[in-house]
Amino acid sequence: MLKGIPPILAPELLKVLCEMGHSDRLVIADGNFPSHTMGKNAIVIRMDGHGVPEILDAILQVFPLDAYTDTPVQLMQLMDRDVGKIETPIWDTYKEIIAKYDERGAKAVTNIDRFQFYDEAKEVYCIIATGETAVYANVMLQKGVV
């Protein structure tokens, strides 16, 4: 046990977060995301019993967001066929969590096309596969400096 470290951050994940350098990225993936397919060149950590918000909150306690880019947080944009049909209140939750740890708050977040998100996810250092049931709940973080 360590003091000041959120208990949800298991040793394997802490090791990976420490290994990551400036501009490295990670994805916290919802339960529908093809984590192992996208993560063929990444470290995939399974956290099936947890949702994205609780993991995001814990990670941001120890993980600085990149200050050298305007939007170090990326979300998967709704597909045209889902606009007006699918609600994404989890995005507001993410922005509240981010605001606790980064003065840019919601301005640090952008949405990118689904297929661009997939392409970029293939290049990340780590994918955390969660049991999150909300749709469009994937979030990509770019690491900054301490």
Question: Any catalytic annotation for residue 66?
Answer: yes
Residue 36 appears among annotated catalytic residues: no
The two three-digit tokens of residue 75, written as one number: 């979300």
Catalytic residue among 30, 57, 66, 102: 66
Question: Would you state the structure tokens that stand for residue 146, as one six-digit string?
Answer: 């301490």
List CB contacts of 72: < 8 A, sequence separation 6 or more: 65, 66, 108, 141, 142, 143, 144
Is 22 annotated in the active site? yes
CB 126 within 8 A of CB 55: no
Marked catalytic residue, from 24, 50, 101, 118: 118
Catalytic residues: 22, 66, 118
